[in-house]
Chain A
C-alpha cells in the first residue's frame, strides 16, 4: 500500500473548525508550487471540505485499470485529490454512516486509489480520536515515512482537545512534525488594530509543554479565507502574507526531510 509515496503527512486536530482543511489544501498547493508531485486525501467523510476549497465540486472519480483515478487540479497532474465529496450526488447529501462503514470506505481510499508516483501524500482528517483516525493509523503503521502535523487555535477550549490528539499520536506511535496555530489575531480593516479574538499564544505554549516543534502562527486573514472555493495557492496569490511565509518555511523543512530520507 502506498509504495510509490515518498512521504505521508497527516493533518490532525482534536478540535473541529480550527483549519485542518485550510492547512491541508494550502500545504498541498504550496508543495505543488514548489514542483513536487502531491496527493491530497480527504478522509472527513461526514464533512468533506476539500472539493469545495479547491473548486473541484463538480468533478467525478473514475475507475481505471489500476484503481480509482483521483481528480487532478492541474493538467500536468501534479496535485491529485480524493474525497468522498466526489462520490455524492448533490452537495446537500449527508453521509449518515456508523463507524464500520466509514472504516471500510477509508480502507478503500488507502488501498484502491491509483496515485502514481508521489513525493507527498497529505491526509486531511475530521476532528476527534475515533474510527477515521484509528483506521488511518492502523493502515499506515507499516509505512515508515509517515508523520503528523497538528493544527490548533489559541484558545484553551481548543487546546484541551488538541492535547488529546497528541496523546493519540503518541499512543499509536506516529511521529509529530509540529504544531501550527491558526486564527491567531485579526487585524481590523479600518484601524489596523490587531485583536486576539480567540486569545493568543496557546499553540506556542502547547508546543513547549508537549516538547514539540512550533511551526508558526497563521493570522486570521480574510484574503486567505477568500481563496477557499477558488483552489488558489496563498504562496502565489498573496506572496507577502504571513500565511505564505509559514507555508513556505514548512515546505522547506519537508523538502529537506524527503531528500535526507530517500
Chain B
C-alpha cells in the first residue's frame, strides 16, 4: 500500500507490492511498464535519508488520536512547553504533521513567522530558547488558504518535513498528527522506521463516540508495530468556576478511557480536566505553564504524565 504514484488508478496495489504492474487495476496506468519490469523496488531511499537527518534526535514521539478535536495539538504544545521547562539544557522540537488543519503556530504563539531554507535545510521557528516548531502553517500566505491536497502530496510534504528540517540536537521530537488512520499516519510511521520511533501517545475524551475512534487508532498502532506509550484522557471533568462543583460535560457512559485501556491492555497516563483557561491560553498562543494558574489540576496531572512519558522513553534508550 506504500508508494502509490500520483497518477495511479484507484485500486493501485502500490509500486512495492508483489502485484505491481500485474493487478487488474494496473491496466492503462502510465506506470504499468515500470512496475511490471520486475526491477525489485528497494526500500524508499527517504527512510535512510531521514535516519541520517534525525540521528541527533533521541526520542521521537507521535501524538495520535482517531478522533478530531480531542486535544492532540493542545497536549502536544503543553508537552513541548513542559519538557522545555523541565529540561532547560535539552532541546525539544515539535513537528506539526496536520497538513490540512495546522494548529501549532497559533497555540505556540508564532503565527505569521517565516521559515528559512538554507543549504542545510529548513530552519524551524524558535518558540523559546529550547523549543522549536515546524508546520505547514508557516508556508501559507493567508490564514484563509486551504491546503486542498490528496494523499500523495501530503506524504511528500511529510517526507520533506522529516528529511529536510535542520533541528540540530534534540532530546524530544513531538509529532502532532491529524485525526484518522490514513496517509499522514502511515507515512510518518514508515518514514521513521529507520530512524526509530519511541512510541505513540494516544489522546482521547471520555465519551463513547470518541473512544470508538480511539480504539481504531490503537488497532492501527498494533497493526504497524508502534509501541503505545500510553493514553491521555482529556476534557475529563469540568469544575464550575462559580460554584466549584464538578460535572461531566462529556460523560463516560462506557467507563471512559480507563475501561478502554484495561480492555486493550495499554497504560493510561492520566486525565486532564476541561479547563476554560487552557482553551483561552491556546487560542491566544500563551504558554499555560507560564500563566501560573493557582491550584491547577491540569498542571498537576501534566507533571505526572510528563514523568511517565520521560520514564517510558528513557527505559528504551
Chain B residues within 8 Å of chain A by Cβ, number: 73
**Cβ of B250 and Cβ of A156 under 8 Å apart?**
no
- Segment among A75-83, A164-172, A232-240, A246-254 that sits at the interface with chain B: A164-172
The residue on B at minimum CB distance from A126 is B180
The B interface is mostly helix, strand or loop, or mixed, namely loop
Q: For residue A93, which residues in chain B have a CB less than 8 angstroms away from its CB?
A: 216, 219
Contacting B at CB under 8 A, from A76-135, are 91-104, 107, 126-131, 133-134
- Report A-chain residues with C-beta under 8 Å of the C-beta of B215: 91-92
B220 touches A104 (CB 8 A): no
Contact with B along A151-191 (1 / 0, CB 8 A): 00101111011011111100110000000000000101111
Q: Among residues 183 to 207 in chain A, which have CB atoms less than 8 Å away from a CB atom of chain B? A: 186, 188-191, 193, 195-199
Q: Scan A1-41; emit 1 where CB is below 8 A from any B CB, else 0.
A: 00000000000001111100100000000000000000000
> Chain B residues with Cβ under 8 A from A226's Cβ?
251, 253
Interface contacts (Cβ under 8 Å), in number, total 228
B206-250 to A contact mask, C-beta < 8 Å, 1/0: 011110110111111001100000000000001011110101111
Residues on the A chain within 8 Å of B276, using CB: 195-198
Contact B181 A96 (CB under 8 A): yes
How far is B11's CA from A41's CA once the two chains are assembled, in angstroms?
22
Q: Is B144 an interface residue (CB 8 A)?
A: yes
Assess the B279–A155 pair: CB atoms within 8 A. yes
The answer to whether B106 and A101 have CB atoms under 8 Å apart is no
Q: Which A residue's beta carbon lies closest to that of B213?
A: A47
Give the docked Cα–Cα distance between A49 and B68 (Å). Answer: 12
Among residues of B, the one whose C-beta sits closest to the C-beta of A85 is: B212
Determine whether A228 belongs to the interface, using a CB cutoff of 8 Å to chain B.
yes
C-alpha gap A3/B63 in the complex (Å): 43
From residue A209, how far is it (CB to closest CB) to chain B in Å? 10
* Nearest-Cβ distance from residue B139 to partner chain A, whole angstroms: 14
Within 8 Å by CB of B279, from A130, A161, A199, lies A199
Is B262 positioned at the interface, with any CB of A under 8 Å from its CB?
no
Contacts of B205 in A (CB 8 A): 17
Binds A, one of B114-122, B147-155, B287-295: B147-155
In Å, the complex CA distance between A128 and B176 comes to: 15
CB distance from B121 to the nearest CB of A (A): 26
CB of B12 within 8 Å of the partner chain: yes
Contact A129 B100 (CB under 8 A): yes
| Interface pair B148/A168, CB less than 8 Å apart | yes
B241 to chain A, nearest CB (A): 6
Tell me the complex Cα distance, A128–B205, Å: 20
Q: Please tell me if A72 contacts chain B, counting CB pairs below 8 Å.
A: no
Q: Chain B, 116-140, contact with A by CB distance < 8 Å: what is the 0/1 string?
A: 0000000000000000000000000
Say yes or no: A164 contacts B101, CB within 8 Å. yes
Greatest chain B CB density within 10 A among A97, A160, A190 is at A160
Residue of A nearest to B210 (CB): A17
* Residues from chain B with Cβ under 8 Å of A94 in the complex: 66, 181, 216-217, 219-220, 223
Contact A156 B106, beta carbon cutoff 8 Å: yes
Give the 5 A-B residue pairs with the shortest CB-CB distance, closest first.
Answer: A16-B68, A17-B69, A99-B151, A193-B242, A47-B213
> What residues make up the interface of A, taking CB atoms closer than 8 Å to B?
14-18, 21, 45-47, 49, 52-53, 91-104, 107, 126-131, 133-134, 153, 155-158, 160-161, 163-168, 171-172, 186, 188-191, 193, 195-199, 220, 222, 225-226, 228-229
Chain B residues in contact with chain A, CB under 8 A?
1, 4, 8-12, 66-70, 73, 99-101, 103, 106-107, 143-152, 154, 178-183, 185-186, 205, 207-210, 212-213, 215-220, 223-224, 238, 240-243, 245, 247-251, 253, 264, 274, 276, 279-280, 282-284
29 intermolecular pairs with C-beta atoms under 8 Å apart:
A16-B67, A17-B68, A17-B205, A18-B68, A21-B209, A46-B181, A46-B182, A49-B209, A52-B208, A92-B215, A92-B219, A93-B216, A94-B181, A94-B219, A97-B1, A128-B100, A128-B178, A130-B99, A130-B154, A161-B100, A188-B247, A191-B243, A195-B241, A197-B249, A220-B249, A222-B248, A226-B253, A229-B209, A229-B253
